Amino acid sequence: MVKEFKCPACGEWTSDSDTRCSHCGAPLHPDRTEEIERMNSFKPLDIPLIQIYADDHWFLKGFKLVLRTGQVIFIAIASAIVYIASGAVH
């Protein structure tokens, strides 16, 4: 039995387990949505990492490795900033 939840934005009944209204897309549980979004921010951001292929030239491999290391560090710093910023609000 799915718990029904009335959308505060459009008044339609939607599933309580949804984070957003299936009718209008409004966030149903702002607190929960924020929590989920904060949890998601711990995952590496949606930045595709540079792919290193086995048949790449050794020089290209080294170059890509340096770039990717920088990318990983950047993502880690960005995640930390997002975490600190979201923590400072509360």
- The type of residue at 90 is H
Of the candidate residues 13, 24, 36, 77, the single one contacting Zn ion (CB under 5 A): 24
Distance (Å, whole) CA 72 – CA 48? 10
Token pair for 88? 């400072």
Q: Which residue, 24 or 73, has its beta carbon nearer to Zn ion?
A: 24
- The type of residue at 38 is R
Backbone angles phi, psi at 66, to 5 degrees: -65, -45
21 binds Zn ion (CB under 5 A): yes
6 binds Zn ion (CB under 5 A): no
9 binds Zn ion (CB under 5 A): yes
Interaction site with Zn ion (CB under 5 A): 7, 9-10, 21, 23-24, 26
